[in-house]
Amino acid sequence: MNSLYIINNPQKLSEALPFIGENDGILLIEDAVVLATSDSAQTHCKNQFALEEDLIARGVKDKSQASWELVDYPRFVELTLTFDKSITWL
């Protein structure tokens, strides 16, 4: 089963990474979107997303890296349906 890992705290991505498969998904939301603005958060995961509204709110959308696909809220909902389950890793 493929899981969508929803991360809202920048410190938590590294904690969850050992359990994330390359075919799982990572979606950065809230404060965690800052990870999409630098290439420090490189992962082995093929499906990397960041919530566009949260980047815009923080004025850093233009700094987002190409390795993180920007998604809006409707696409966020779609992602939760695409993956078998969502895991909000708090």
Partner 1 sequence: MSKSICIVFNKAPYGSQAGRELLDIALMAAAFDMPITAIFTGQGVYQLINNQQPDILNIKNHSATFKALPLYDIEQILVDQNALHQFNLSQNDLLGIDELQYVSADVIKSRIANSDFVLTL
Contacting partner 1 within 2-61 (CB under 8 A): 2-3, 15, 18-21, 24
Single residue of 1, 40, 62, 66 touching partner 1 by CB under 8 A: 1
DSSP, residue by residue, the chain:
--EEEEE-STTHHHHHGGG--TTSEEEE-GGGGGGGGSTT---S-SEEEEEHHHHHHTT-GGG--TTSEEE-HHHHHHHHHHSSEEEE--
Q: CB of residue 20 vs partner 1: minimum separation in angstroms?
A: 8
Site for partner 1, rule CB under 8 A: 1-3, 15, 18-21, 24, 85, 87-90
